[in-house]
Every structure is written in structure tokens, then in C-alpha cells.
Structure 1
Amino acid sequence: MKVTDRPYLTAGLPGIGGEIKCEIDDFEVEEVPLYEPGGDGQHAYVWLEKRGVPGGKLVSMLAAHFGVKKRDIGTAGIKDKHAVTRQWVSLPFHELEQDEPSDLVGPVVDGVEVLEARLHRNKLRTGHLEGNRFQVVVRNFDVPADEALERAQAVLEVLGAKGMPNYFGLQRFGNGGSTLELGVGYLKGDADAKRRLKRNHFLRRLSVSAVQSELFNRVLAARIDRELLWTLFDGDVVKKTDTGGVFVVPTDEFEETQARLDRGELVTTGPLPGPRMIAPERDGKVFEDEVLSSAEVDDRDFARHKKLAPGARRPLLVDVGEPSVRIETRDGQEVLVVGFFLPSGTYATVLLREITKHADLVEA
């Protein structure tokens, strides 16, 4: 199974071309926490900045530096390597040599510095964040700076009003789709895939998740192609934007539910297949079955691996917060600086590709 194309939501608006992540300082990410540290407790929450450090290696580096176990360190999410990122990390304060949280402030290892430290009662857990605030520099665009600014503003205006396609980024699928192919093989019982993943639980989960992500992207792409993001099917699965509740559109409340979608109270969803996923019914089921009919996996494959892929629904659109764009001069070159906030679990490069219209935009 191959990674499919992802049509643009703003296909009618021209892009600017360009490149991102040319320099470390060109990509800034600041975590927006779900809650602030309370000021007392057994865990030290450190607000740290890292520059060019792989997110996956951060915990190991901190564990070695502070002399604690990796499992006792908490993070809300993994941040980009080729970027300047700021995030909260929790450390078991009672196991540290420092007397006060403020003693933790300062350089830790090369590329990592603690900017602030406070106590809190619980360890930080994955997903304990509201989202991320981005500031991204786009260089070497294909049009004059003034025109690039106008084009970017037009795209952001649409995304700010309608939402951003909630595609999974290309990095989800591995180099050349290798993680996706491995996941398909594992789900289908391929001996080589099972052997490669037998002792690597992280890669096993990642590979199966890549398959779910590709199927979701296919449904989203089809709804964009057919202009059905804001048009319901009878039996569609929708999500409440205020509470997060998910339900199947009932036939006898179809017009009322469509009106709620129009008012922004609901959002259409796509599949992350698994036995616990709320499945569409009637016309909604017919649509998704047709879109996914060419996939090499089906519900039975996911049912055999319910612990790895329990299943869920994912919104097809997400709100873009705080959109902004301006021209700056850096290193003697006019660049575009794009700012925005996205909720957790979404991909900044999906928004940026709408602006650049580069299908092969670097998504590392």
C-alpha cells in the first residue's frame, strides 16, 4: 500500500513555493500546556529550550545528566529535531541533588537549557498539552516578497475561517513509506514483518498506526476532492466541537445535524480503524467503504490486533489559532515569517504546504 496524494483545501489559491528549516532558528515550536505547575509536589517541571536536539533522545540525555531513570521523566510530546523548541519536562525532584527548583535553571547539555523550574504533584504524561505555537520562516519563495505576503495572507484567511485539513504528515509513514509498508505486512501476517517487529514494540505500534493514518488521509482526501467536508451523509460520524462527543448522524435528525455542522458546532470525522471505532452507517458507510475498497487491509486485520489499534474517529478539520504572516529581512534576504497555533496531534507542515503548494515540502 502506497502513500496517496493529499489534495489542498486551498487548491484555488496560488502558492509561493519556498523552503522551510533552512536554519535551526527558522522553525520555532513552543508547547502550550494543558495546565500550569502548581508550585508544590514531588515532581520538578522544567521549562526547557532545545536547539537541534532530536526529540526522541531528549529523555535519555536528561536521565544521564541528572542521574535518574528514563521512566521517571515525563513529557507531553516529542518535538522536532531541526528546530528551536520550548516545552515542559517533569523530573523526580526527590531524586535530584538540587535543593530548590530554581537550582535547575541553566545549561544542561549542549543544545539544551532549563529556562524555568517549578514543582508539581504529578508526573507529566503524554498528551498533557493543549497544542503548540509555531513561528516558521519560509525562504527562497518563487515570487516577489509583496506578492508572497498577499498569497500567504489569502491562504491563512481561508484556513482561519474554515479550518485546516487534519492530514497526517508524510513523516508519519517513514522514508519512502517504509513504515506504512511494514505495518501493512504486520497486519496481514507477513513473516518477515512479524520477525522485524517482534522485539520492537515502539516500531510495531508506529507501523500499525501508519496504516490507520493512511486510511484516514484517503477519506479526508476524497471528501476534499468531492467538496464534502461540510456536507453530511446520512449515517456520517461527527464530533461535537465543544465536548468532543462523537455520534452517528440519525436519519430523522439529518437536517438539524447539518445545520449544527454549518454553525460550527460539529465537525466531520474520518476513520482510525479498529474494533472500538464508532463506524459510519448507511450512506456514510457506503462512502467510506468505497474510498477504502482498494486498501490492502480491512476491519478483520485490525480486529486481530486490537491492543495496537483499538480504533477511533479523528476530526477531518482543525481550527487554526492566531494566524499571522509578515515579511522580515534575515541574513540580507527577505523571508516570510508565518505564525499560528495548532492543537496537539496535528502537523504544522500540513498548513505550510497549503501556503507553499509544494507537495514535497520537507516534513522532517
Structure 2
Amino acid sequence: MTSPDKNITPTAHSPSAFEDEAFDISNIDVAAVTDTAHLPQPTQQPLKQARYKAYATDFVVNELLPLDFTGEGEHLWLHIQKSGMNTAYLAKLLSEWAEIPLRDVGYSGLKDRHALTTQWFSLRIPKKQLPASEFAPLDVAEHESVTILAQQWHNKKLNRGTHKANEFVITLRNIQFASANEEHTGLSDKQSVEQHLKHIAKSGVPNYFGPQRFGRNGNNIREALALFARPLPDSRPQPKKSKRKRAPREQNTMELSAARSLIFNQILAARVRDDSWNEGLTGEVFNLDGSGSIFTSEDVDATLRARLASGDIHPTGVLWGVGNDKVSGTAAAIENDTVQNSPLLTQLATGLEKRDIKAQRRPLRLPVAAMSWEWSDEQTLVLSFTLTTGSFATSVLASFVQQLTS
């Protein structure tokens, strides 16, 4: 574990000392660095290999969005099951069917294209004038499907981030057990897997960002590096009476998110290696479970340790940016050292700071709720669990499968 340094002071610009140095990152294997299968896990995974997403029905995602509908208003809410189609494209089809602007179609979150998913959409229908025909898009391919399960009238649009959790039902096929299971635990292969799943249900897993955040072979990180290599937009002082135009909020979102996610994953990996990912360090910033609330603590006393053990609070890591001034002590040292000891992370962190991206905190630990499982046969396991939004089911799978294939 990194030892405390009383002289460390948290700073929002810790990598800035490296800005003038010409780091050569041409030899860095971005695909390997972003391969989440290489990230460390707290315990040895009991499954050597498994296949997921062999069929769309092997990866089911149900949006959990409990609501009391008013039964009135001009927003038609549709509960839709889809497969083979991404959320944004379906929103476009719905806007064309209802003959309304795309901005009047609302949804809470993006759902995987290569899965069977259910989620809500809202359509603002002025005067409740529904289209003459039922929703039946003409350009749906053979592998795509869309089914309306229910509809409700409501007085509000569905906004992004409204739902707080997703239910997953995942089928793992062609399972190969780790050869050392029985030798190390004295349990049968199945018993070893089930014991591991019980541990996950109780203690959670490292809250890594999943591989989809980085794109194929880490291409999103390459795009981020290309973005940071370009000159910043003109930042000359503007006349007092004119407001400086800001770039659209969504601009370069993918690249910026990928950069922050890679830094976070490497910080979390350092905490997993020193076994502090689910414990508090001096200067830690804690997250209150199930909320966006955070608080700091210089020392971890018995009360905080009990809250950590119960899952009431979680340690956090930084989503890099300016203003990372809440963390201190040992926790800050790990974050700063992780970035400063990596030319790639330093370049990404500096690029984020130059664009004035504000630092945020993310829990290091991901609770796994409502965990259950069933063996369909000797090599097929069906898992069911619930995760908060913004987390990745692949991170749960990676915690007990050494090599996932799809």
C-alpha cells in the first residue's frame, strides 16, 4: 500500500508539471492498456472461460423505472422491448412515426444494441393527436425487433438519467472451470462458482468501466489523444457586453468520457492491487450508497469501518478534471502517483484540465443487488442481478470469469 505523505497537498493540476515535457507514447499499446480483461480482481476467478451474447436473448436488460402516471397530459409514454437496434435510432423512428421533432422524444438511458432490452420512451403529442397507423417501422432489418408492451399518458417528458437501476438476466454458455478450483478450495467446480457469487452479492465488485467505453481496440482513447493534440478554441477575452459562446455540451463527449474512464480504471486497479478498493484510506472521499452525496474524512474510525462493511458508504476515485481538491493524504497520493507515473495517463489528464473539465467522484465499489443464478446444464449458467445506472454488467462478469468471449 502506498504510504502516507504528509507533505502532499491535493491539486487540481497535479500533472501540469509535465506539460512542457515531450512524452513519447508512440510505443504504447493502446489496445492492451484499454483491455479490461487485464484489470486486476480482488480474488481469483473460478471460471476460466465463458461465452456471453451468443444470442440476443442471452443478454437481457430491463430498465427499472417505477412511476405513477397521471393518465393525462400531452406526453405519450411507451414501454418498448427491442433487440438489434440502439436507443438513439429507435428514438428517431418514433419521431418520424409521430411526426414530431426528435427533441420531443425522451428516454432515460442508452441500452445495448446486441441485447434484448426494455425501456420507456416519451413522445410529446400536441392535443393527443395520435398517428393514423400503428407504429410499424418499414426499415427494420431481419435481426431487429421492436414491440410496444404498454403505453401511458403523462404530464411530463422522460428526461435522461431518470431511472436509477437496470435488471440484468445474462446467460453464460460453454463454461470452462478454472482447473485449480477443487485443489485450492476443496469444493466442486459448481460449488466454487456459487460461493464466489455469494461473496459478490455480499461484498460487491470493483466498479470498473466496461470495454464498451473505450471502443474497439481502444479507438476512443486514440480519438481523445488526437483531440488533445489539436489547438484549443480561441479563448481570447471577449467584450464585456457579449457572452462567450460555449461549445455544445455533447461535443467530444465520447473522447472525454473515455479519457476519464481509463484514468479511473487505472486508479481503481492500483487500489485493488493494494487491497484498499473497499476500505477507507486517510484523506478518503466517501460516497453514500445509492446517492450522489460525498463526504471527506482525514481518518477512518470504527464507525466509518462499520459503515464500509455494511455497504452504507463506499470509497471513491476521481473522474479526472480540475478542482480535485476534496481528496487528500494517502488516497490523493495514489491518484496522483497513478497518473504521474504513466505518460499516457499524464497526457490524458493534462488534456482534460486544459479543457476545464470539472473533477467528479465515482464509487470504487459496485454493489450487486438481487443476485440469483440457475444452472441450465453443466456448461450453462443463467445470472440475474440489478445494478445502479452508470455501472457495467461486464464488470460483474469479469469478477468471476477470467476470459469472456462474445
Assess same fold via TM > 0.5: yes
In 2, Cα distance between equivalents of 1:156 and 1:204: 38
Q: Is the CA contact 1:222–1:291 (under 8 Å) kept in the aligned structure 2?
A: yes
Aligned residue identity for 2:105: I
Q: 1:28 aligns with which of 54, 60, 67?
A: 60
In 2, Cα distance between equivalents of 1:151 and 1:26: 23
Residue number in structure 1 paired with 2:23: none
Deviations 1:307-337 (A, max 9, x none): xx322100011211111111226xxx96211
Residue number in structure 2 paired with 1:257: 304
In 1, Cα distance between equivalents of 2:152 and 2:189: 43
Which structure 2 residue ranges, 5 or more long, are not aligned?
1-27, 179-186, 234-246
Q: Is the CA contact 2:298–2:329 (under 8 Å) kept in the aligned structure 1?
A: no
Q: 2:280 aligns with which of 228, 232, 238?
A: 232
Q: Is the CA contact 1:20–1:26 (under 8 Å) kept in the aligned structure 2?
A: yes
Relative to structure 1, the CA distance from residue 279 to residue 186 in structure 2 (aligned partners, 3 Å threshold; closer, same or farther) is: farther
Residue number in structure 2 paired with 1:183: 224
Q: CA RMSD in A?
A: 2.9
Q: Is the CA contact 2:205–2:399 (under 8 Å) kept in the aligned structure 1?
A: no
Q: Is the CA contact 1:155–1:354 (under 8 Å) kept in the aligned structure 2?
A: no
Spell out the pairing of 1:20-99 with structure 2 (5 A cutoff).
20-33=52-65, 35-94=67-126, 97-98=129-130
Residue 292 (structure 1) aligned with residue 339 (structure 2): yes
Q: Is the CA contact 1:15–1:151 (under 8 Å) kept in the aligned structure 2?
A: no
Relative to structure 1, the CA distance from residue 123 to residue 157 in structure 2 (aligned partners, 3 Å threshold; closer, same or farther) is: same
Residue number in structure 1 paired with 2:243: none
Residue number in structure 1 paired with 2:362: 314
Structure with higher Rg: it is 2
Relative to structure 1, the CA distance from residue 118 to residue 149 in structure 2 (aligned partners, 3 Å threshold; closer, same or farther) is: farther
Superposition TM-score, scaled by structure 2 size? 0.77
Q: CA deviation at 1:263?
A: 3.7
Q: CA deviation at 1:216?
A: 0.6
Aligned residue identity for 1:210: A
Spell out the pairing of 1:53-202 with structure 2 (5 A cutoff).
53-94=85-126, 97-98=129-130, 110=140, 111-143=145-177, 149-187=190-228, 189-190=229-230, 202=250
Superposition TM-score, scaled by structure 1 size? 0.85
In 1, Cα distance between equivalents of 2:56 and 2:265: 29
Name which structure has the greater RCO, CA cutoff 8 Å, separation 6+. Answer: 2
Relative to structure 1, the CA distance from residue 33 to residue 104 in structure 2 (aligned partners, 3 Å threshold; closer, same or farther) is: farther
Q: CA deviation at 1:126?
A: 1.0
Q: Is the CA contact 1:27–1:135 (under 8 Å) kept in the aligned structure 2?
A: yes
Q: Is the CA contact 1:106–1:115 (under 8 Å) kept in the aligned structure 2?
A: no
Q: CA deviation at 1:148?
A: 5.8
Q: CA deviation at 1:354?
A: 2.2
Which structure 1 residue ranges, 5 or more long, are not aligned?
none
Deviations 1:215-269 (A, max 9, x none): 1101111111111123322111111226542122124x65543343234332100
Deviations 1:54-74 (A, max 9, x none): 233111121222222111100
Residue 7 (structure 1) aligned with residue 55 (structure 2): no
In 1, Cα distance between equivalents of 2:309 and 2:171: 34
In 2, Cα distance between equivalents of 1:158 and 1:225: 18
Relative to structure 1, the CA distance from residue 285 to residue 352 in structure 2 (aligned partners, 3 Å threshold; closer, same or farther) is: same
Q: Is the CA contact 1:163–1:317 (under 8 Å) kept in the aligned structure 2?
A: yes
Q: Is the CA contact 1:108–1:114 (under 8 Å) kept in the aligned structure 2?
A: no
Residue number in structure 2 paired with 1:354: 399
Relative to structure 1, the CA distance from residue 202 to residue 147 in structure 2 (aligned partners, 3 Å threshold; closer, same or farther) is: farther
Relative to structure 1, the CA distance from residue 154 to residue 38 in structure 2 (aligned partners, 3 Å threshold; closer, same or farther) is: farther
Aligned residue identity for 2:197: L
Q: 1:223 aligns with which of 261, 267, 271?
A: 271
